[in-house]
Structure 1
Amino acid sequence: MTDRSNKDSKKSPVKIRFKAMKDGRRSIYLDCYRNGHRSYEYLKLYLVPETDDKSLRLNEAAMRKAETACRKKLRELKKLPAENRRLMDTQDCISNKGISILEWLSRFKEIQRSRGVHDIHAIDRLCAILSEMNCGDTKVNEIGKDFCIAFVEYLKTGYKTAKGENLKPKTAFNRQCTFVTALNVAMREGIIPTNPMNLLSHHERAKASKGKRDYLTIDEVKRLIATPCKNNMIKNAYLFACNCGLRLGDVRKLKWGDITQDNDRWILSVIMNKSGKPIHIPLGVQARRWIPGCEDSGKHDTGSLVFEHLPGDSHINDILKIWAADAGIAKSVTYHTARHTFATMLLTLGADLYTVSKLLGHSQIKNTQIYAEIINRRKDEAVNLIDKVFD
């Protein structure tokens, strides 16, 4: 017990951290934590994907330099007079905790980009709303329950679109989600101790009205397979998601190193963009069928993207709508319908709700329950067909 307490008391205030970059490299930086305040020092050192002996040696050299920089930083902290250390802590407090909400959202946008989040326009829209509220200069650490309630009320009734209309419930809910995520990341960065949005009760929050959740039947998926698409990479990426349930953001950043093969068993392992949680999905034959170059999986660079050159989200959805129409499907097809299709296909074929929940990466099974409700409605509709015959 004594050894453990001594170890805990001697935790290093300077740690080496890594940040993933779009080109497959990882940036090395120092995470300095003193008296409850955190600051960062980027070293301009990078780790490259280890594909040969040369890249291995480069990474070893970069890590040696990073460890030297870490030891140097520790020595600097130890040599600082007490009043200088307090001054530096105060400066960290100003630079981190004294940041305004609009300044933080600008930094949050860069953090999301570094995580591989492609569509970050929602952050710009949130900035516009906060600017309209005349609260863009509010410090993040000054945001409390009253501010959050006022923000939600403004989403519901105060903010007007270009047509002079209120935001739709779903849109207001989405802006609220972006705000919550931004505050969660601020909490992880040590800027705020807790997320003030968690103080709001359920009825105080913006709620999305239950809309129709479109998905494709197995027959409709077969029709898409048989129909040519003007962009084969989009076709492959969509049908892949129909068989594994990944969101578009996660498909965009999927690398060959995220897929492992053990004889005939393939496993996909990624950190989900939306939740930041790891997920492990077995890839069946149908999922692997739509992976470009799957037959040469062992020859690909582990740091390279599986689905390269995917266009922007709106362009993808435009192509999907044309493709679906060509296949004779009248539903509103977007990329996210592939995730819904994966869930409903599994439940239709007899998979249990708990297993489907884990495959989707849901933290609560109630989030998966809506797909079960969809399947139950289809059962009711099927039974009603008999009644219509005898009527």
Structure 2
Amino acid sequence: MKKTNVTLRRKVLADGRISLYLDFYPPILNPETNKLTRREFLKLYLFEKPKTRIQKISNIENLHTAELIQIRRQNELRKYDIYSAFEKEQLELKKIGEASFMKYINNLADQKAGKNFAIWISAIAHFKDFLKEQDISFKDINVTLINDYREYLLKAKSRRDTGNVLARNTALSYYNKLKTTLKRAYKEGKLRNDINAGIDSIKEAETQRNFLTLNEAKILFNTPCSSQIVYKISMFSTLTGLRYSDISKLIWSEIEFIEHDGYYIVKLSDIDHCFPI
């Protein structure tokens, strides 16, 4: 493997200052972005044409600091070159373990959209409340912590409905978001142990489903409605059992007529089979 050289370089900025940065060749892996990079900007600046004694002293001090950082980076890289394969692996595991878990779960949430995104954000907010801090690293994630979080969710107050405890199925939804994150992190090698295999689950609460009797349906159909479209959708939903979300996506090509059997809905996005209407 070719050794990496670290060179101190300068870049003239639009405001007349000179920015000092390190140039790595070949490129090195940036632990924050997990991408190869050739530059590390030091946030140290020189005056291109120092006019005062203070500016001259500032140039000398900043340049000296930049040179020390360059030497330190070069020594770090050269020291890494002589590590054994095992030592390098341990260093990588240590670096991964110290990475931010909260940044990771927030990045996953950012990939969601609509209502699902809102649920992820609420789940993360409750996890932060449980931690009583803003961050936690991967190495601090363990079975005991997640089981404690499970117990917290079962007693946690709703952030929207102040004073009321989270509904069990809401707690389950938030808990599953964390489990999804743990599963992905383990798959990507960010967690050394499969935390999901050792944690307890939250049992889904049974929900009561109400159905209209035939007499109740007749009363509904005979009740005046100012909007014909609402009335027709209600009738269609009652007679077919379809949710409004299914009806709103229904297109004519999904309705087929079978002779001697009537009309059927087929290929509906959320339905795996066809049924008569």
Higher strand proportion (structure 1 or 2): 2
When Rg is computed on C-alpha atoms for both structures, the one with the higher figure is 2
TM-score w.r.t. the length of structure 2 is: 0.47
Report 1 or 2 for greater relative contact order, CA contacts < 8 Å, sequence distance ≥ 6: 1
Q: Give the TM-score normalised by structure 1.
A: 0.35
